[in-house]
C-alpha cells in the first residue's frame, strides 16, 4: 500500500508543476513505469517513484539499479511506439513518512547499464 501512497504523492507533486497524467503503472511483460506525464513544455516524462523510510541503508535513488533502468528503458520504448516525441526519465524519491517525508524530484536521471 505504501507504494501506491508514494505514487499518489509524487503524482500530486507533478500535477502541481503543470504536468498532465498520461498513464499510471504502464506495464509490459517484464517492465513497469510508475508515472508517465507530459510536462508543460510538451515533453513526455517517465517517472520512477521510490520510497524508503530512512537512509540507513542508502538513498531511495540508489535502488534504481542498472537492471531496473534497462527495464524502464525497454518499457518506455514500447510506450513511445505510439508517438514520436521528446522524452526524459525522472525519479521522485521520498525519504521518511510517505505523506510528510522529504520529497525530491530528480530530473533527467541517467544511469549506466550494459546494452
| pTM of the complete model | 0.83
Q: Residue 19 domain-assigned?
A: yes
Q: Do residues 109 and 70 lie in contact, with contact meaning Cβ atoms separated by under 8 Å? A: no
Question: Could you tell me the CATH number of the domain that includes residue 17?
Answer: 3.40.1350.10
Main-chain phi, psi angles of 38, to 5 degrees: -115, 125
Q: Residue 45 domain-assigned?
A: yes
Strand order in the sheet with 20-28: 20-28, 31-38, 44-52, 87-95, 102-106
* pLDDT tens digits, one per residue of 97-106: 999 999 999 8
Number of domains in the chain: 1
Q: Which of 11-15, 52-56, 58-62, 82-86 is the least confident region?
A: 82-86
Domain span at residue 33?
Answer: 2-106
Q: State the residue for C-alpha cell 521510490.
A: 50
Q: Residue 86 domain-assigned?
A: yes
Q: Residue 111 and residue 101: Cα distance in Å, rounded?
A: 25
* pLDDT tens digits, one per residue of 10-37: 999 999 999 999 999 999 998 999 999 9
Task: Count how many Cα atoms sit within 13 Å of the Cα of residue 92 in the half-sphere of its side chain.
Answer: 23
Amino acid at each position: 500500500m505504501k507504494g501506491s501512497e508514494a505514487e499518489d504523492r509524487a503524482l500530486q507533486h507533478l500535477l502541481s508543476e503543470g504536468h498532465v497524467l498520461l498513464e499510471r503503472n504502464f506495464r509490459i511483460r517484464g517492465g513497469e513505469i510508475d508515472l508517465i506525464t507530459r510536462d508543460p513544455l510538451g515533453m513526455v516524462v517517465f517517472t520512477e517513484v521510490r520510497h524508503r523510510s530512512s537512509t540507513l541503508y542508502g538513498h531511495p535513488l540508489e535502488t534504481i539499479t542498472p537492471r531496473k533502468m534497462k527495464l524502464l528503458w525497454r518499457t518506455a520504448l514500447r510506450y513511445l511506439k505510439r508517438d514520436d516525441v521528446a522524452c526524459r526519465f525522472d525519479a521522485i524519491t521520498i525519504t521518511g513518512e510517505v505523506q510528510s517525508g522529504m520529497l525530491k524530484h530528480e530530473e533527467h536521471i541517467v544511469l549506466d547499464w550494459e546494452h
